Amino acid sequence: MINKVILVGRLVKDPELKYLEDGKAVTSITLAVNRNFKNQNGDYDTDFLNCTLWKKNAENTANYCRKGSVIGVTGRIQTRSYDNNDGQRVYVTEVIAEGVKFLSTKKEALV
């Protein structure tokens, strides 16, 4: 089946790089993506989309991006669930990045 996502948005905070026990790099980021159309009050809502980056994508993003950086992410939507402390099932939907593109001000980021 097909599952493709393409996002361009801004980092809501500095990315934090972690390493799993097996040495794999991971970073979880949240992208603020402003909508292109106005709501009933006449202003633009924004969606806050969680993305998970792996390996080189994780390391590069942690190295080159900061809160406010504009980033393009291509990937897929993934769902998972877990039981929280209150014994309730929590459903999580996030974007798993397959590619990342740095689009911020600095010219070199745009190559």
Other beta carbons less than 10 A from residue 11's beta carbon: 20
47: CB partners within 8 A, 6+ apart: 32, 33, 35
Return the residues of window 92-111 that contact a copy of itself according to CB under 8 A.
Answer: 93-95, 99, 101, 103, 105, 110-111
- Is 20 in contact with 54 (CB distance < 8 Å)? no
Question: Of 86, 87, 89, 108, which one interacts with a copy of itself (CB under 8 A)?
Answer: 86
Binding site for a copy of itself (CB under 8 A): 1-10, 33-36, 44, 47-50, 70, 72, 74, 76-79, 86, 88, 93-95, 99, 101, 103, 105, 110-111
